[in-house]
Amino acid sequence: MAKQSKIVIIGGGACGPKTAARARRLDASAQITMLQDEELISYAACGLPYYISNVVKSHNALLVRDAAAFKKISNVDVLTATRVDRIDRSTHSIDVTSLAEGRHYSIDYDKLVIATGASPVIPPIKGIDLKGVHVLKRVPDADEIKVLINESASKKAVVVGAGLIGVEMVEALTARGLKVTVVEALSKVLPGILDEEISDLLADHITSKGATLKLGQKVVKFKGDNNRVSHVITDKETLEADVVIFAIGVRPNSKLAKEAGLEIGIFGDIAVNDYLQTSDPDIFAGGDCVANVSIITGKKMFVPMGSSANKHGHVIAANITGGRERFPGIVGTACVKVFAFNTGRVGLGETQALEAGFEVVTALISNHDKPTYFPGSKDVIIKLIVDQKTHRILGGQGTGPGEVIKRIDVLATCITAGMTIDTLANLDLAYAPPYNTSLDVLHHTANLVRNKLEGRTASISSDAAKKKIADGADFVLLDVRSEWESDNTWLEAPQVHLLPQPQLQDEMDKLDKNAETVVFCLQGNRAYQSSCTLKGAGFTDVKFVEGSLICWGKDGVCGEPVL
């Protein structure tokens, strides 16, 4: 009779339970034990901001499966409130402590899985231990934050960090009636995730909903009254707050692995190979405690995501039960809902692509997610990043009130498959008026990239156009919108000249063919068409503003550009 395999899993968040459940399906006889240092296991931590905002009414709704259910359904022994103190590789055992009983004992293993996740970064800032200052990682954190909100006297909150959790908490706290200020040390929202054009649009939307952004500021200390936070002090000003959410990022929980002598990666992660195997062949690791390989660059990247953690668990389960599955890596896909805007990114940003050594061409387009005649049509803004030499798609980003995320998912598929911009331009995407326009916004963006690569058109960004205005450059900023549009939303700049597109053919002789001419409209389509018309008529220096007024932002625009 074959020996019964002993599988021990440290961690009951995402990767651990997925590993346990699939391992049981693959090996009916294995003895599987999963340990968690808190009472709850297998809950949707990504849903906590929505529990705080009361979109999710009870934290019980976030629980996927409890310990009793794991035992009954998968015959997995789950030890909650149990801390793992040490991994002894020489004896194939772990030393543990029952937190409820204070009892110390050991558990033997044949295969060990480390799925310890990541912990919030909490720097040693004076006053960070005051009541009212919180990180958000577990259900008890969310429960305590909800109590704080109910107790809030000033109804003022500060969110430290404008990453994914930070911007989700802006919406959650605003929904609970608090006036929210965001403090971010870097110069933009979702730094490291979004390029400036997309980040600026999201920032404008956040401030339009009543939140205040304090970008390029660092928190230096917290001040309190009666041991409760009352002020957040940055390197530039003092802000009132009786609720503070600290969300500046996470780092891998690799202490157990490091103390056991396992190899540690450059991010402080547990180093693993393509099979999610550590430097010890009998120990595997997955979830937020490991880094992933970028499918684009082949280099390691630390992008903690519940989606990746579940895939890790699927692969690890196969490999600890006799299989040989590889985890191929990721393309860095992420998305977030912030008020009415859907925002996502995949692959490399423009700066990341340049740093990776690619010759980059980009395109930014604003369009509708379905025909304007169909009810519910909304704007989406998409940016593509492409390798100039191979035409390979390197990355994409998007934001807006429309259906952005399905476009991000299409791009994730394209990038994973190594597709070129030429393939994307002709990709057979589904079309019907309730779902899409006949040519998707991705088709339009891909075609703009191809036109740029073939030298058929020239464009500049809204930031470049703003700089030319600020520098007092001598050029024509040609507005080809209708007069009524211009009356409702216009640019404050001496270089602006209104000439609606329908009149362009008849009245272009009023313009200087040798002057630098930069064309804009509302979204960019008419500007592009008009620039082609002018170029065909012999104008020597014509460009259009990508995304035009939709992507211009608030600077210098009078009226409401629309999103």
Q: Which of 15, 46, 521, 558 is catalytic?
A: 46
Distances (CA, A) of 447 to 255, 457, 533: 49, 11, 18
Q: What contacts 128, CB < 8 A, 6 or more positions away?
A: 122, 222, 246
Exposed / middle / buried, residue 224 (Cβ in 10 Å: 0-12, 13-18, 19+): middle
What whole-number distance in Å separates Cα of residue 387 and Cα of residue 110? 46
Cβ contacts of 453 within 8 Å, gap of 6 or more: 361, 386, 388, 391, 421
Residue 421 sits at the vertex; the CA angle it makes with 419 and 427, to the nearest 5 degrees, is 75
46 is catalytic: yes
Pairing of strands 341-347, 393-399: antiparallel
| CA gap 561, 450 in Å, rounded | 28
Per DSSP bridges, beta strands 93-98 and 82-88 are: antiparallel
CA distance 53 to 57: 9
Phi first, then psi, for residue 476 (nearest 5°) are -100, 125
Task: Supply φ then ψ for residue 52, to 5 degrees.
Answer: -65, -40
Gap between the Cα atoms of 192 and 351, Å rounded: 10
Residues tagged active-site: 46
